[in-house]
Structure 1
Amino acid sequence: MTKIPDEFVEELRKSVDIVDVISEYVQLRRTGRSFVGLCPFHNEKSPSFSVSPDRQLYHCFGCGAGGTVLRFVMDIEGLTFSEAVVKLAEKAGLTLPVAVDAVPDHSPQNQQRQRMFDAHQLAAKYYNYILMNSAAGVQALTYLEGRGISRQTMVDFQIGAAPDAEDALVRFLRKRGYELPVIVESGLGIALGSKVVDRFRNRVMIPICDGQGRVISFGGRAIAPDGKPKYLNSPETLLFHKSEVLFNLHFAKREMRKTRTAVLMEGYMDVISAWQAGVKNAVATMGTAITVDHARVLKRYAETLIIAYDGDDAGVKAAKRAIEIAGQSHLGVRVATFPEGQDPDDFIRSKGADAFVRQLHHFALTELEFLLNELRRHAQLDSAAGRTDFLRQTLALLGERGTPIEQDAELRRLAMEFQISVDALKEELRLVSKQHHKRKSFQRPPRPEVRLNETPLPRKDVVASNHVLQALLTNSEAYHWLLEREVDELAQPEQTALLAHLYHFRSEHPDGSAIAFVDSLEDPLLARLASSLLMEDPPEFDQDVIDDCLRIIHLQRTEEALQQAMEELVQAQVDGRDDIDVLKHRVEELQTELNALRQQTRGNVTG
């Protein structure tokens, strides 16, 4: 593969606007010359994520994430640099000057990953061919058509069939050059003694894709009525981590962005049926409960989550858990309910697509309505004690989750149903809420007292080092000036590392932009540091100010050396060593040097 020319990357940077790109993932609002929003890379309630259209940079002051539009697409979509270039070029309508999708990464791990990607893609084509074109796929095809799955949907989702043979896929992959260890590590085969056999046999095969649409695992549904297990998923691999993957995300995210709503289901067959019914923003977790990582991904595309789980007790329990996880990521929640014993797929087949869409969008419950319904479903309302217990639990839930409007409406309903005055219920609600807050306060560990004067300030040498880096980032004159003074170390290791990268970049690209430099950094921590420095208004290059910065850095280093020398001298005196005079001389030299530095430093840069 060929490297994408730097000139094209620079043209691409000028053709895309970082605000437009990030707005597809994050709700931004203007504040002064910048835009702010909730960071998509960590959970937060107050926006600390800032985007600068002037500098074409983003930076989160909460978690430190930052960089250019290319870095954002790389991190949010899990792409390589070259893949991000290709994606943004398509968005900008630019034609790549070379036939390339990515710059090769020859690291052993990346080569292994690519081999596994290729094996999965080939396996998906193999399974799909078996389903559509062979006698071995007739039973699976009949099963799918019996469930109402159309041929077009089978094509859309690359659905396939695994034949009932011991090693059909293994032999197919081996003929195409795939080694047995790769087949096993990909989860496509299982080692049994001295031989390797197919993991999936006599099953409908559903490819599981990552956010980019690359096949990374499979779900297999048993065709035989007595097939065990009913659903079999690929194991965790280098490509597939079920706590992070959402089935159908690569298709659904476009509709999620459009509607700002995501639909969460339990199984891939539910999602496939929903897709065919016209619901294009549905995803499913892969045999696991929703995780914080899942919720964080959904938050990038949607504001509201409609939970559409099965109508049985297990589905209700999972929905309650999903409500809590979604709340942690500040997703609004609605819950679509289905008759007990039915999942969304069953509902669609029995009631039809229109009824299903209405169930999602018109009859979905708020989280409070859903939880109140569950309280009522399990309440013992045929006894006085049961009714009292139900009322107390209901009032506690209202106090914890209800808005004033929701509380008022529910209290009026309860008053009519149980023949109790609204005032009495309001008083009880007040008492229950008070007790709830007392319990929470008692259970919560005391928060340590924080005093403003205890907040650590950056060391002066760290601030000074940042000034040096800012000068080098934004002014080509600083490069030669610093080289002449042989400046090769700053206050912190990451600052020194960034300095070395800047020297190398400036030597090859004397007039290169700071944005191009940030994109050249492979280490995300260094890219974050560089972008954070560029988000500030850099001062004009002033040799006297930079001289002061270098003296401050030298001053700190000398103070640390003096402290170390004094400690060593004391230890030598305790041990009665014979190098005491040498150490005394070293301490005196450092003291003299330190005094001279203190007198020279004008203090133009104090932090």
Structure 2
Amino acid sequence: MSTGRTNIPEEVIEAVLQQHDIVDTVGRHVHLTKQGKYMKGLCPFHSEKTPSFTVTPERQIFHCYGCGKGGNAIKFKMEIEGLSFPEAVRIMAEEAHIPYEDGARRFGDTPQSREMEQLLQAHEWSSKLYHFLLKNTEHGKPAMDYLKSRGFSDKAIDTFQIGFAPARWDTLVQFLEKRSFDLESMEKGGLLSPKQDGSGFVDRFRDRVIFPLHNRNGKVIAFAGRILGEGGPKYLNSPESKLFSKSRTLYNLHQAKTEIRKSRQIVLFEGYGDVISAWESGVHNGVATMGTALTEGHASMMRGLADEIIVCYDGDQAGQAAALKSIPILENVGFVIKVALLSEGMDPDEFIQKYGGERFKHQVLDGAVSSVKFRLIYLKKNHILLEEGGKVAYIKDAMGVIAPLPSPTEREIYLKELSADLQVSFDSLKQECNEFRMAMQKKEPLGDNNDKRWNNGRHKKGQTSMPALLPAYHVAERRLLSFMLQDEEVSRYVWERLGDEFNIEDHAAIAAYLYAYYAQGKPPDASRFISSLQDERLEQTLISIAMMDTPGEWTSLELDDCIREIRKVPLQNQIKSKKEEMVSAERAGDFLLAAQIASEIIALERQ
């Protein structure tokens, strides 16, 4: 997992895990059904139709057999909300009213965390300064006039902390210097820029309307500045920094997440102005990407909060092309997708200013179409349908969208619409669709989910797939570790007879961690033990072992069998090596040495 966990007191981590039951934590995002001693549901981290996401209440862990993600309640929180380990623990501690102070020392109190705190504080104060300059100075008047002309109310300006950076070179430099901030750190954090001659620093943002950018917890982590006069670039964002990553940040998520969780729906915009105008119209589940294309990181983060998304991009060609590109990214994480259609090439902000918020909600958002319908509308614009050739070409392109749909009912609905739209017989379209599907199936490799890497090969057509058989010693090591995870006495028994002599390096490392864990007087607890590991790969190996259906009861005979199987391996390797030595001796004509080696092999085989 992320670094920084070692600075969090163990008692805080343990208290968080005790207070956050895995079923409750996961159940906020996944519909779980009981199957024996497990709970199962559809994985929130990838798209699937057959549940492979499994929660084990008894061991307080989750594991997805489709994509491989797994861990305890803290790990789930990290994955679903895109948090670091300290952030997840802090939020979960606050939710459960667990104090996360260690005496006078706060967890994560390291030079790195202190630098982060300084940057966060500097961004918060800079945001307040810019907001003050916009609202209370002559410098800010042209910016305020511009915002008013765009239809921004005083309430919106306050809600979104919009500000203004004057044209001067050192407004923020002086402000931060007076408050004893390290200017070099402020430059690394994106607030300042170095002078060209290297003699100091200047303000990064000058003569711009400032939009603060927040993380999901509401802390200011960056800024976007829109230029007021001529020149470029029109928009300037803070650079990527320790605080700010474009591909993991969404504008307004900190304010929208309450409504998003409630409605399980997100409205995705392209620009800050769109989000703000929509918010004033009562659309409080809107977010936007940070002047960058939608990424898988954005999609995963949003999928953890909602099931449905309305893509509401600009109505011009560029906006619609961007909406088209976003569809497969959103489909891959399992969203139900709708796309809003804006007339006259308007952007959402312009539509709201011209027609009002109510019409925007009812006409644009309520009238959003399915992703399939949007693809068909988009394709249609590329063909001249008055010509026969254009009509035939459009039908061919449309089949590429309709034919792959898994539902026969859904295919029929779109084919009927196509038939009515083009005045072509439904039967001929249906026949063409069936031919297209047959051609697709011939081209497909055996895996049934070829566009979804996570599920490839799990269900083969025309054959049964058998899992690869592990060597006997590998199975024995996993079984032994599974018993050790459940019972301290087993761990002590194995330590005395085997120690760290596991053949697989990761298994030896897990055993060493387990011995140390029990030596501290801690009880058997898979979830708690996972949090003590410092390695992502070991965690995944351990989760796989913890999910094994090993009986709670054990016998020394069974443990001895496993230990014997494990101990065989080095002897077998020695025998193999000795046999190679014997063959070499025989080839060299040294029969005395060969006979000596043969007796050593016999002794090893007896062992």
TM-score bracket, normalised by the shorter chain, equals 0.7 to 0.9
Determine if contact 1:3/1:100 at 8 Å carries over to the other structure: no
Please name the residue that 1:234 is paired with.
238
- Of the three residues 186, 194, 197, the one matched with 2:202 is 197
Root-mean-square deviation (CA, aligned residues, Å) is 3.6
Task: Check 1:542–1:133 CA distance in 2 against 1; reply closer, same or farther (3 A cut).
Answer: farther
Determine if contact 1:49/1:60 at 8 Å carries over to the other structure: yes
Q: Deviations over 1:456-488 (max 9, x none)?
A: 222222222223323332222234333433612
Please name the residue that 2:547 is paired with.
535
- Of the three residues 491, 496, 502, the one matched with 1:490 is 502
Cα separation, 2, equivalents of 1:161 and 1:381: 50
Q: Deviations over 1:86-125 (max 9, x none)?
A: 322333355667678952263x665655554444334333
Alignment of 1:97-112 (within 5 A): 103-104=107-108, 106=110
Structure 2 residue 411 is matched with structure 1 residue 399? no
Structure 2 residue 354 is matched with structure 1 residue 350? yes
- Of the three residues 272, 286, 290, the one matched with 1:286 is 290
Task: Check 1:321–1:581 CA distance in 2 against 1; reply closer, same or farther (3 A cut).
Answer: farther
Alignment of 1:418-457 (within 5 A): 419-434=423-438, 455-457=467-469
Q: Deviations over 1:552-579 (max 9, x none)?
A: 1110122123334444565677789x9x
Cα separation, 1, equivalents of 2:66 and 2:515: 29
Determine if contact 1:464/1:550 at 8 Å carries over to the other structure: yes
Alignment of 1:381-420 (within 5 A): 381-401=385-405, 403-413=407-417, 415-416=419-420, 419-420=423-424
Alignment of 1:312-351 (within 5 A): 312-351=316-355
Alignment of 1:246-285 (within 5 A): 246-285=250-289
Please name the residue that 2:533 is paired with.
521
Determine if contact 2:338/2:370 at 8 Å carries over to the other structure: yes
Instruction: In structure 2, give the amino acid aligned to 1:219.
Output: A
Q: Deviations over 1:273-310 (max 9, x none)?
A: 22222222222222222222322222222222211000
- 1:556 match: secondary structure: helix
Please name the residue that 2:71 is paired with.
67
Please name the residue that 2:126 is paired with.
123
Cα separation, 1, equivalents of 2:171 and 2:347: 33
Out of 10-19 and 254-263, give the one that drifted further. 10-19
Determine if contact 2:383/2:391 at 8 Å carries over to the other structure: yes
Cα separation, 1, equivalents of 2:437 and 2:358: 42
Cα separation, 2, equivalents of 1:139 and 1:253: 33
Instruction: In structure 1, give the amino acid aligned to 2:603.
Output: T
Determine if contact 1:246/1:283 at 8 Å carries over to the other structure: yes
Please name the residue that 1:592 is paired with.
603
Structure 2 residue 144 is matched with structure 1 residue 144? no
- Of the three residues 177, 182, 188, the one matched with 1:179 is 182
Task: Check 1:169–1:525 CA distance in 2 against 1; reply closer, same or farther (3 A cut).
Answer: same
Please name the residue that 1:13 is paired with.
17
Structure 2 residue 79 is matched with structure 1 residue 57? no
Cα separation, 2, equivalents of 1:408 and 1:308: 27
Determine if contact 1:36/1:47 at 8 Å carries over to the other structure: yes
Instruction: In structure 2, give the amino acid aligned to 1:199.
Output: R
Q: Deviations over 1:387-440 (max 9, x none)?
A: 343344445543344954455455555555555443344344444555565666
Out of 473-482 and 270-279, give the one that drifted further. 473-482
Cα separation, 2, equivalents of 1:179 and 1:519: 35
Structure 2 residue 39 is matched with structure 1 residue 26? no
Cα separation, 1, equivalents of 2:158 and 2:559: 63
Structure 2 residue 477 is matched with structure 1 residue 472? no
Out of 491-500 and 309-318, give the one that drifted further. 491-500
Cα separation, 1, equivalents of 2:251 and 2:28: 20
After TM superposition, give the deviation of residue 494 of structure 1 in Å.
Answer: 1.4
After TM superposition, give the deviation of residue 343 of structure 1 in Å.
Answer: 0.8
Cα separation, 1, equivalents of 2:9 and 2:51: 36
Cα separation, 1, equivalents of 2:113 and 2:68: 26
Please name the residue that 1:601 is paired with.
none
Out of 3-12 and 378-387, give the one that drifted further. 3-12
- Of the three residues 558, 574, 579, the one matched with 1:561 is 574
Please name the residue that 1:545 is paired with.
558
Determine if contact 2:315/2:345 at 8 Å carries over to the other structure: yes
Q: Deviations over 1:241-279 (max 9, x none)?
A: 323332223333332232222211111221222222222
Instruction: In structure 2, give the amino acid aligned to 1:346.
Output: E
Out of 365-374 and 146-155, give the one that drifted further. 146-155
Out of 194-203 and 386-395, give the one that drifted further. 386-395
Determine if contact 1:43/1:296 at 8 Å carries over to the other structure: no
Count of aligned pairs: 591
Task: Check 1:452–1:408 CA distance in 2 against 1; reply closer, same or farther (3 A cut).
Answer: closer
Determine if contact 2:93/2:100 at 8 Å carries over to the other structure: yes
TM-score (norm 2): 0.85
Please name the residue that 2:158 is paired with.
155
After TM superposition, give the deviation of residue 7 of structure 1 in Å.
Answer: 5.2
Task: Check 1:583–1:245 CA distance in 2 against 1; reply closer, same or farther (3 A cut).
Answer: farther
Please name the residue that 2:247 is paired with.
243
Cα separation, 2, equivalents of 1:558 and 1:589: 11
Determine if contact 1:396/1:436 at 8 Å carries over to the other structure: no
Instruction: In structure 2, give the amino acid aligned to 1:145.
Output: K
Cα separation, 1, equivalents of 2:17 and 2:468: 38
Cα separation, 2, equivalents of 1:136 and 1:584: 98
Instruction: In structure 2, give the amino acid aligned to 1:53.
Output: P
Task: Check 1:563–1:174 CA distance in 2 against 1; reply closer, same or farther (3 A cut).
Answer: farther
Determine if contact 2:100/2:106 at 8 Å carries over to the other structure: no
Instruction: In structure 2, give the amino acid aligned to 1:551.
Output: R
- 1:520 match: secondary structure: coil
Task: Check 1:441–1:545 CA distance in 2 against 1; reply closer, same or farther (3 A cut).
Answer: closer
Determine if contact 1:59/1:66 at 8 Å carries over to the other structure: yes
Task: Check 1:313–1:474 CA distance in 2 against 1; reply closer, same or farther (3 A cut).
Answer: same
Out of 539-548 and 319-328, give the one that drifted further. 539-548
Cα separation, 2, equivalents of 1:20 and 1:280: 26
Out of 64-73 and 414-423, give the one that drifted further. 414-423
Please name the residue that 2:173 is paired with.
170
Cα separation, 2, equivalents of 1:6 and 1:427: 65
Instruction: In structure 2, give the amino acid aligned to 1:31.
Output: Q
Task: Check 1:193–1:96 CA distance in 2 against 1; reply closer, same or farther (3 A cut).
Answer: closer
Cα separation, 2, equivalents of 1:523 and 1:340: 54
